[in-house]
Amino acid sequence: MRKFNIPIYYKSSIITRLKEYRNLIDPKKNDLSPIELDLGSVKFLIPRHFGFCYGVQNAIEISYRTLEENPDKRIFLLSEIIHNPIVNEDLQFRGINFILKPTGEQIIPWEEISKDDIVLIPAFGTTVEIENKLKELGLQVEKYDTTCPFVEKVWNRSAVLGEKGYTIIIHGKYKHEETRATFSHSVQKAPSVIVLNMEEAKLLGEIILGNIPSEKFYELFKDKHSEGFNPEIHLERVGIVNQTTMLASETEEIANYFKSIMIQKYGEENLKYHFADTSDTLCYATYDNQEATLELLKYPADFAIVVGGYNSSNTSHIVELCQEKLKTFFISSEEKILSKEKILHFDLKTKKEVLTSNYIPSKEKVTIHLTSGASCPDSVVEGVLRKIHSFFENAYDIEEIAERIFQSN
């Protein structure tokens, strides 16, 4: 596996080593059981996969290398490099300015960007329109493009399917940077429509079957379809791709649903013509992290802490998985742990931080699930680990217990 050169302060003495240890003893990822960091009065269960993925590490490496190699140039990012406030704030502190907000609104006018500047494309990728704008300005697009290879894989498959006459159904959040980018690339070759979840997929399925009038399509999928989309024509042959940070299981469920719809309407003997199998476009990191979380949740715990940016899609899905099983606190860093009695955490429903008291139960031994999103540095996870550990006066030394784990094989 490729080694990335990322700043040392994003790594940690415990969390990074635990991940390296697991990769060493289980290189083929056959064992999804969590690591048990038993510190006596408190035990942490840490999943097999979490934290920085390939695409995130690649984007961070390119960003910091660009800063190092171009001290005398103005450097910009189209928008947040990844959805983690600590990484984005550090890049801004080092002089990188953002041109757009994550939602697409302009911060710095294009007129202020010159061909002598550097503009980095974030890990989510960007739209064809913005790519063309950068080229018009005379900027080097390819050299400073940090688009995740797995996002590009989705774009490439969409193009191939479009050339074969398929319509692309994108499972994603239509305002998310990655989905906007995927949609922009997809429509170059194929009629395209975005569905958020299974509920929207079923609405589209009912339109395909004729149970919902085709004219309702434009109301139900307003702003979510390509120009000139005709549901009576363009829903005869479909392929499903996704925003790579969505729940992989939900994407598979949606794909299987449309497969069944096509069998129902056209017959199983005609399935290959009407439905394209795109299961190989699922992001391995998203899938691994979600599978490791599901395995983690098989182990009993008092509560879970998920660390990551509040606008991170992949992190929010990890939170959702945990919430189905136990009390879960979604925090961005150790600073949100105010004390042993109080924690400030993000509520996915209200989209606001809430204060919870007495979140750590009073008992002889407390067990905690600890994980993070794909854009969260190991150092931040370790900060959370050490902060909670400090509340337990009689807990064992972290370094000593970790060292025993490392030496056990």
Burial (CB count within 10 angstroms: exposed 0-12, middle 13-18, buried 19+), residue 214: middle
Which three-class secondary structure state does DSSP give residue 171? strand
Rounded CA-CA distance 140/117 in Å is 9
What the block records as the tokens of 403 is 């060292």
Rounded CA-CA distance 302/329 in Å is 12
Beta strands in 208-261 (DSSP E): 238-242
Which three-class secondary structure state does DSSP give residue 324? coil
- Pick the catalytic residue from 178, 200, 250, 382: 178
- Is 178 designated active site? yes
Burial (CB count within 10 angstroms: exposed 0-12, middle 13-18, buried 19+), residue 396: middle
Burial (CB count within 10 angstroms: exposed 0-12, middle 13-18, buried 19+), residue 261: buried
Indicate the residue type of 188: Q
Question: Which helix (H) or strand (E) segment is 150 a member of?
Answer: helix 149-163
What is residue 401's DSSP assignment?
Answer: H
For the annotated catalytic residues, the residue numbers are 178
